[in-house]
Amino acid sequence: MTMASGAPGTTPVTAPVTTPARLAAVLYARSRVLPATLGTLVGTALTAAWAAHWLQAQPHFDHSARVPVVVLAPLIAAGAIGTGLYTHSDELDRTAVRPWWPRRLVHLVVLTVLAAGLLALAVPGRPDEFGAPAMVRNLLGAAGVTAAAAALLGARLSWLPMTLYLSAAYLSAPRTPGGVGAVWAWPMQPGPQGAAWAVAAVAYGVGAALYAWRGARPEGH
């Protein structure tokens, strides 16, 4: 702790101490645009809650009307997470004394858990339909695909593969849940579909492991 000198007879003013750990945390948060990512996740959850409520309030609509919300909100949240995986100091990260893969994994998992919790609260009720379980499952799968894309394509384009895949699945998914469609069109399935959960879990596990191992692909500055 440092003391600021003042005029004679005045009380010394203590200056705040910035520890190396605190400084490192601040620099890390800024380099990964964490404040913007967190703001996007909160905004996405609030918008999803409003949209889900509005859709259900329409005449002749039920919980199945929340399908667009359950599909699009995880896509936007995963895109925000993936874009935040970009780093301006990839050369320093790769030459650091301590391995970076634990930090990368914790970074991804914490943001995924936070986004899943926020989005689950946006669609309360009817977990057997398009409610919180389907929202969490889609967030896991989308975040996994986005993390893998960040490692292979770079963080700035990490949103693209999942967007293309989800657009195709949304337009061509079968109306009846289950069967083979639960595997290739897993984002369009109701919450309890085990096959859809298995695909999403594998996608997240593979994507998280690949990103933790390789980090985001270096891009031109």
pLDDT by residue for the chain (221 residues), tens digit each?
Answer: 444 555 555 555 555 556 766 655 555 556 567 888 999 999 999 999 999 989 888 876 666 788 999 999 999 999 999 999 987 666 555 555 567 789 899 999 999 999 999 999 999 888 778 899 999 999 999 999 999 999 999 999 999 999 999 999 999 988 788 889 899 999 999 888 899 999 999 999 999 999 999 999 987 65
Asked if residue 71 is part of any domain, the answer here is yes
Asked if residue 25 is part of any domain, the answer here is no
| Domain, as residue range, for 129 | 31-214
- Is-contact 185 121, C-beta < 8 A? no
Q: How many domains does the chain have?
A: 1
Q: Is the pTM of this model over 0.85?
A: no
Contact partners, residue 67, CB within 8 Å, separation at least 6:
130, 188
Residue type, 76: I
Give the H or E element holding residue 14. Answer: strand 13-15
Asked if residue 70 is part of any domain, the answer here is yes
